[in-house]
Amino acid sequence: MSYYIAPRFLNKLAVHITKNFMELPGVRVPLILGIHGRKGEGKSFQCELVFQQMGVEALHISGGELESPDAGDPARLIRLRYREAAELIKVRGRMCVLMINDLDAGAGRFDRTTQYTVNTQLVNATLMNIADNPTNVQLPGSYDSTPLHRVPIIVTGNDFSTLYAPLIRDGRMEKFYWEPNREDKIGIVAGMFEPDGVPRREIEQLVDSFPDRSLDFYSALRSRLYDEQVEEFIHSIGIDRVSARLVNSSESPPQFKKPNFTLPHLIEMGHLMSEEHNWVERMRLSQEYNRSLAAGDRISETAVRNASRETETMKTIDRNQIANPETTAPNAGNRASAPQTPHLSPEIMEQLQQIAIGGHRIGIEYVDKRRFQTNAWKSCASLSADRQTEAIAALAACLQEHPKDYVRLVAIDPNAKRRITETIIQRP
């Protein structure tokens, strides 16, 4: 199977690795190349293909290895792997790189609830120190004055804005945003389906049928086509004999005929997979289960503020009554009896009423400009249809707290646990 390497990806990675093995006069070459982009677009796999083509040996570190119950272990691991790569360059006489996958998952801070540990600080500090002194990387408790060979570091991730800002500054890390275009997608998907004999024109139609899906979608689609044959195999031998047939069995491995790789069947299976993914995005049950607590906190805060305002108003009325009892008493009574309602436009009030009339739960969500592109909405409140007054107060509080964010109203079917409508009522 011949896999496709995107020319832009190949050029960027090859140039970075080559520059780090060259002596360019008066040029400071960044040691780290950060490849970031959407999930499932083949960043790590494309790196492996480039390494194979260039004859580069890679030492890997996973983002999950950047935390440990023992403080200092992840930083020591980075230094150890870096020194191992430098030794391989010296002994084997070939290029080596240090590859850190999903750096943002191990060393990033996504929100205020993400724990920022000593190890996170040490990982950032260690990478910064290596980037500044690539030939002088020491292990804790020892010192070796012999200069090391410079080792390029490749890191991948989805959102580098979660990383420590001085680490990703220019001079230390060169950034490369990877988003395959249509030609890249067609080439990579054609490489996946090459053993199956799918014509290139059908690959183009398949990619155009799912333009918003990442590359891992097509790999999963190819695997999905074998589900029918695996199901037939299970039923043919009996579900109670599957383990004995496949594990430590003297029989030869089962053979499967070639699945149906025609374009209509591929598109049909693709739509089924897309619908399953859409259900995940629509349901968001964790938000639904946790909204009541967040909504209660916000509504309580709003109620406390309103009660405080009413108390101050009553004190002012009492003082005015004492000073001018015959002129202020009627007006004071009118002011005391007038309810305080948040100011919302008639269009927003109509949308709230329509959700309540339909018997749906009222959801209020917000998101900033950057995360709007990834559809990463956060919940302000979620209330039942009979709590329309509280929903008005919660919506007014959310609009006041997030004047520069997107805010939307969501109608949720309480029985089916799914979203009915999503309407943006504020755009920054």
pLDDT(299) > 70: no
**Pick from 369, 353, 370: which is nearest to 411 by CA?**
353
Contact predicate 259/228, CB 8 Å: yes
Please, what is the average pLDDT of the chain? 84
Q: Bigger pLDDT: 282 or 162? A: 162
pLDDT digits (tens, 9 = 90+) for 137-147: 999 888 888 89
Phi first, then psi, for residue 98 (nearest 5°) are -105, 120
Query: What does the pLDDT average to over 16-43?
Result: 93
Structure tokens at 218: 């097509």
Contact predicate 150/21, CB 8 Å: yes
Angstrom CA distances, 54 to 50, 92, 394, 397, stand at 6, 15, 58, 57
Angle among Cα 4, 105, 369 to the nearest 5 degrees reads 90
Three-state helix/strand/coil letters over 186-205: HHHHHHHCHHHCCCHHHHHH
pLDDT of residue 335: 42
Q: Which of 130-144, 301-315, 357-371 has the lowest mean pLDDT?
A: 301-315
Structure tokens at 140: 């804790």
Structure tokens at 36: 């970031």
Task: Provide the CB-side half-sphere exposure for 127 (13 A, CA).
Answer: 32
pLDDT of residue 411: 86
**Pick from 380, 377, 341, 339: which is nearest to 362 by CA?**
380
pLDDT(94) > 90: yes
With a CB cutoff of 8 Å and minimum separation 6, the contacts of 274 are: 210, 213
pLDDT digits (tens, 9 = 90+) for 177-226: 999 999 999 999 999 999 888 999 999 999 999 988 899 999 999 999 88
**7-177 is a CATH 3.40.50.300 domain:** yes
**Considering the chain, what percentage of its residues have pLDDT values greater than 70?**
84
pLDDT(317) > 70: no
pLDDT digits (tens, 9 = 90+) for 98-129: 999 999 988 888 766 666 788 999 999 999 99
With a CB cutoff of 8 Å and minimum separation 6, the contacts of 321 are: 328, 329, 332
**Pick from 261, 341, 280: which is nearest to 309 by CA?**
341
Phi first, then psi, for residue 329 (nearest 5°) are -60, -50
CATH number of 285-426: 3.30.190.10
pLDDT of residue 426: 87
pLDDT(249) > 50: yes
**Pick from 69, 58, 249, 252: which is nearest to 156 by CA?**
58
Angstrom CA distances, 428 to 183, 293, 343, 371, stand at 34, 27, 19, 13
pLDDT of residue 330: 44
What are the boundaries of each domain within the chain? Answer: 7-177, 285-426
pLDDT of residue 189: 93
pLDDT(293) > 60: no
Angstrom CA distances, 257 to 228, 230, 234, 260, 261, stand at 11, 11, 15, 9, 12
pLDDT of residue 308: 57
Contact predicate 158/36, CB 8 Å: yes
Model confidence at 340, in pLDDT bands (50, 70, 90)? very low
Model confidence at 427, in pLDDT bands (50, 70, 90)? confident
pLDDT of residue 318: 54
pLDDT digits (tens, 9 = 90+) for 394-422: 888 888 888 888 888 888 887 777 788 88
pLDDT digits (tens, 9 = 90+) for 214-226: 999 999 999 998 8
pLDDT(325) > 60: no
Claim: this prediction has a pTM higher than 0.75: no
pLDDT(333) > 70: no
pLDDT of residue 284: 66
CA–centroid distance for 347 within its chain: 34
Q: How far apart are CA 121 and CA 420, in angstroms?
A: 44
pLDDT of residue 301: 57
Angstrom CA distances, 357 to 242, 306, 354, 411, stand at 53, 27, 5, 11
pLDDT of residue 321: 53
pLDDT digits (tens, 9 = 90+) for 124-137: 999 999 999 999 99
pLDDT(153) > 80: yes
